[in-house]
Homo-oligomer: A and B are copies of this chain.
Amino acid sequence: MSKKIRTAIEPTREQNYAEWYQQVIKAADLAENSDVRGCMVIKPWGYAIWENIQKALDQMFRDTGHRNAYFPIFIPKSFFEKEAEHVEGFAKECAVVTHSRLEDDGHGGLKVAGELTEPLIVRPTSETIIGASFARWVNSYRDLPLLINQWANIVRWEMRTRLFLRTAEFLWQEGHTVHESQDDAMLETRKMLDVYADFAAEYLALPVIKGEKTEGEKFPGAVNTYCIEAMMQDKKALQSGTSHFLGQNFAKASEIKFQSRAGGLEYAWTTSWGVSTRLIGALIMAHSDDDGLVLPPKIAPSHIALIPIYRNEEEKVEVLAYCKKVEALFYKEYFEDMRLYVELDDRDLTGSERNWYWIKKGIPLRVEIGPRDIASEAVMVARRDKEPRDKQSVPVAELKAYVLQNLREMQDVYYQRALEFRQVNTIKIDDKDEFYRYYTPKNQDQPEIHGGFALAHWCGDTACEEQIKTDLKVTIRCIPFDAEQEEGKCICCSKPSQQRVVFAKSY
C-alpha cells in the first residue's frame, strides 16, 4: 500500500478539479464571492497580480502608440441599439439603470424614484459609447490612426459565475482604434493579438494558440474575431484574450466618418481588443499544484518570503536584525522590468506554518534564516517549483545573484512545463469514433477529465460545429494561424476540408 502524501490543498486536481480551483483561491487569499449576486471581491494578493498585469500590458500598449482615456460607464439604450448584432449579443444579460434616487416608501423603508426618460445600460463593452466620442474626434485622415485604450470595470449579467473566470462585474482593458483603411485596421487587430500572445508567454508563462474564431463564436458586431487560447491543467481551453476587426460596422453605427486623402468623406475602419481579470483564472489553472498557487515570478506581487527561525526571545532579536539586513539587499531592486518585493514574515507562528502559508500563496522563493545561518553567513533558499523540503544553502554574499538567476529559471520552467503539457495533450484525430471517444470521460465521477485538444478537419459548416457542441460540449476554439493547408475530411460530416482546427472543451 503506497503511503498517501498529504497536500496543502484538498481536494487535489485529480480528485475534483473545480473544487481544487476554489480552494487554491481561498488558500492564497486572492478573492471571495460578495453579497452582490455574481460580483467578486478581489483581495489584496489577487489585486496585486492584476496590477502587475496592468503595468506590463500598459507599457506594451504605450510602446505600440496607444494612449489611455476614460469613457462613461453608462450607455443610453438608444446607443446600444445602433448595431443590431451587438445589441442582440448583449441585451440578454445587462444591468439596467432606470431610476435616479431612493425615497421614503411610507413604511420606514426606501423605494426607487426619479425614473429616467431613457434607461441606461451599465457597459458590458464600450464600442457604442466610445464610438460617439470618436465620431467627434475624427474629422480628417490626419486624425488617424486613433489609438485608445481604457482600463475599466464591466458588467455582464452572467447566470452561472465563478471567481475570475466568469463574474457579473469584472475588470478589463478595452482597446479601441480607428483607421483610414481596411488593411491598417486589420494590421492593428493582428498586432494587438501578438501583443497579447507575447505578454501571455513572457509574463504569465502561458503558451497560447493564436487563431480566428468561427462565425458562431465571434464578437457580436465584429467582422472577424481573433483569439489566444490556452490549455488548463484539466485539458480544457481558456480563451485568454480577443482582438476584433470590426470593419465599418461600428463606424456606420456611430457615424465615424473622415475626409480621406482623396478628398471624399468615408466611413472609418475600427478595431477593439481586450483582456480581463479572467487572466488570473488562467494563471491559477495553468500553473498551480496540489499545494496551492504557483506564480510566475514576473507577475508575482512579491518574490521572496523571509522567514526568521528562532527558539527564544534572544535569538529572535538577533535573527530579526539579520533579516532586515537581508531585506535591505533587495531595496528598490528589480527583477527584469518588475519591482522586486520581499515579505519579512515575523508573525508568531512556527517556521512550518509560515512556510506553508507562503507556499499556498505561491511566492517564488522562501528564505529561512536562523542563528546557525547567521554564523555561517549563508541562508536556506527554497523554490516554489521544487519539493517543499528541498532547500539550498546560499552564501549571503551571493544571494542577490542567486535570486535573480533562480527567478529567471523558474519563469522558464513554468513556461516549458505548460508548453509540454499542452503538446502531450494535443493530438491529430481523423476518425469520428476516435474523436468521440477522446472527449468521453473515462470515469463518470470525473466528467471533467477527458482527452485534451484535438486538431481535426472541419468543413466550415456551422451545422457540424453545432452537432459536436450538442453531442460532446466540445467547440472549435479557433482556426489556428499556423496550421498547414492539407486535404482532409470534416470530422463530423466527412465533406472535404483544407485545414485542421482546434477543438476542445472550454471555460
Q: Which A residues contact B (CB, under 8 angstroms)?
A: 32, 34-36, 39-44, 47-48, 50-51, 67-77, 79-81, 87, 91-103, 109-110, 112, 114, 119-122, 129, 132-133, 136, 148, 152-153, 155, 157, 169, 171
- For A97, give its contact among B41, B44, B87, B96 (CB under 8 Å): B96
Q: Enumerate chain B residues within 8 angstroms of A70, measured Cβ to Cβ.
A: 41-42, 47, 50, 171
Closest chain-B Cβ to A17's Cβ sits at a distance in Å of: 26
Of all chain B residues, the one with the shortest Cβ separation from A95 is: B97
Of all chain B residues, the one with the shortest Cβ separation from A70 is: B42
Given that A32-B136, A133-B34, A157-B100 are contacting pairs, would A44 and B73 also be in contact in the complex, using a CB cutoff of 8 Å? no
Q: Enumerate chain B residues within 8 angstroms of A94, measured Cβ to Cβ.
A: 100-102
Contact assessment for B100 and A96 in the assembled complex, using a CB-CB cutoff below 8 Å: yes
How many copies of this chain?
2
Contact assessment for B36 and A120 in the assembled complex, using a CB-CB cutoff below 8 Å: yes
Contact assessment for B112 and A34 in the assembled complex, using a CB-CB cutoff below 8 Å: no
A39, B39: Cα distance in complex, Å = 24
Contact assessment for B101 and A98 in the assembled complex, using a CB-CB cutoff below 8 Å: no
Closest chain-B Cβ to A159's Cβ sits at a distance in Å of: 9
Q: Enumerate chain B residues within 8 angstroms of A69, measured Cβ to Cβ.
A: 41-44, 47
Contact assessment for B97 and A93 in the assembled complex, using a CB-CB cutoff below 8 Å: no
Contact assessment for A91 and B102 in the assembled complex, using a CB-CB cutoff below 8 Å: yes
Of all chain B residues, the one with the shortest Cβ separation from A132 is: B35
Contact assessment for B48 and A67 in the assembled complex, using a CB-CB cutoff below 8 Å: yes
A47, B58: Cα distance in complex, Å = 14
Closest chain-B Cβ to A317's Cβ sits at a distance in Å of: 21
- For A101, give its contact among B51, B67, B91 (CB under 8 Å): B91
Nearest 7 pairs of A and B residues by beta carbon: A39-B72, A44-B67, A42-B70, A91-B102, A96-B99, A36-B72, A100-B157
Closest chain-B Cβ to A5's Cβ sits at a distance in Å of: 31
Q: Enumerate chain B residues within 8 angstroms of A122, measured Cβ to Cβ.
A: 73, 97, 122
Of all chain B residues, the one with the shortest Cβ separation from A98 is: B98
Closest chain-B Cβ to A432's Cβ sits at a distance in Å of: 38
A81, B107: Cα distance in complex, Å = 13
A60, B169: Cα distance in complex, Å = 28
Contact assessment for B98 and A112 in the assembled complex, using a CB-CB cutoff below 8 Å: yes
A77, B111: Cα distance in complex, Å = 9
Contact assessment for B91 and A103 in the assembled complex, using a CB-CB cutoff below 8 Å: yes
Q: Provide a sorted-by-A list of 13 A–B residue pairs whose CB atoms are within 8 angstroms.
A: A32-B136, A36-B72, A36-B76, A41-B133, A42-B71, A72-B169, A92-B102, A93-B100, A95-B99, A97-B97, A97-B122, A98-B112, A101-B157
